[in-house]
Amino acid sequence: MKHRREAAPGRRGGRSLASAVALGCAVALAVAGCGSTTPPAGGSATVSGTSMVGSPAVGSPGPSDSLAPGTAAAPPAGFSLLWRDDFEGAAGSAPSSANWRYDTGPGVNFGTGETETMSSSTDNVYLDGSGRLAIKPIRAADLSWTSGRIETQRSDFAAPAGGILHVEGSLQQPDITTANGSGYWPAFWMLGSPLRTGGGWPSVGEIDLMEDVNGRGSEYATLHCGSAPGGPCNENSGLGSGELACPGCQTGFHTYAVEYDRSKSPEELRWYLDGKQIFAVKSNQVDATTWTNATNHGFFIILNVAMGGGFPAALGGVLLPTTVSGQPMLVDYVAVYTKPAG
């Protein structure tokens, strides 16, 4: 997702890879390599916040593999649970207002070309009664679209000095195909907390854990940083994985995760799909100031489904009469873990 702060305070811009693809990074459809990165080889929980369910057991090193819906993820060894939402609640109810806030309004405000109106209605954003969040785009009789975009109330999800931040979620992408999904754009991503206090995109940092467009059954992982256009992070494309195959991601739940590792030099961001590392960016790929401005602070988490925009269009997808209405992105849980220095 590309996120410009072009509107009033509190309004976040579009999506990272919209611009990335528009500039040709993802148009190439490389399995990896929009950024110049080669991925390297790969207690009890303490909980704060609300809507936490249980205490996950300590697991083996590395992120958890894909789990059945409702199954608690085990944090990597040595990590503690900082925050989690399992989306428990009555069918048709709204997600926890203690955990989430809405980002509403016309999609044109986000700077990505998307055309839906983001809504706080439980028609678009709701709990399904089985421990899942649903974000559902709906087409009206006049062919306009509504959908949903929520972000965490907290914006302090940060890697401890010398430690590691691990963020993950179990999601099912909208159950669509290229035959009926033109223009769909689901995403799971993070923005740097300075954006809420006057900072600008992309210098504050944007980390995209999952994006897919047009029902392609893919996954894109990206870091946005520096200045735009161009700059040290190749904006508006960012440092990205390119298109990665994600078989079954529209018909089942899969785990998407990112780690920010400050325990090593150079520091590193690592992305995972179902527990397997798929991409990495190291701090020495950019200058020290760019890296620090993009990473050395808290983040907030965003979940949304956009309709239309620069990224889908760059891969040949626009909203069509054949674009199916009402296929939600489902989220089983979102969790944040940290590991201290040492």
SS3 category, 9: coil
CA angle 111, 117, 121 (to 5 degrees): 135
How does the average pLDDT of the chain come out, rounded?
A: 84
Is the pLDDT at 50 greater than 90? The verdict is no
Nearest residue to 229 via CA among 2, 62, 1, 58: 2
The boundaries of the domain holding residue 141 are 16-42+49-339
pLDDT, mean of residues 87-108: 97
Residue 281, pLDDT above cutoff 90:
yes
Asked if residue 9 belongs to a domain, the reply is no
Give the pLDDT score at 326: 98
In a domain, 71, yes or no: yes
Q: Does the residue 64 lie in any domain?
A: yes
pLDDT over 50 (residue 292): yes
Model pLDDT, residue 72: 52
The one-character DSSP state at 40 is P
Average pLDDT rounded to a whole number, residues 234-257: 97
| 8 occurs within a structural domain | no
- Within a domain: residue 2? no
| Domain membership flag for residue 31 | yes
* pTM for this prediction: 0.84
Number of domains, the chain:
1
Neighbours of 320 (CB within 10 A): 11
Residue 11 covered by a domain = no
d(CA 248, CA 272): 16
Q: Is residue 110 part of a domain?
A: yes
Q: What is the CATH number of the domain that holds 95?
A: 2.60.120.200
Per-residue confidence (pLDDT) for residue 306, from 0 to 100: 98
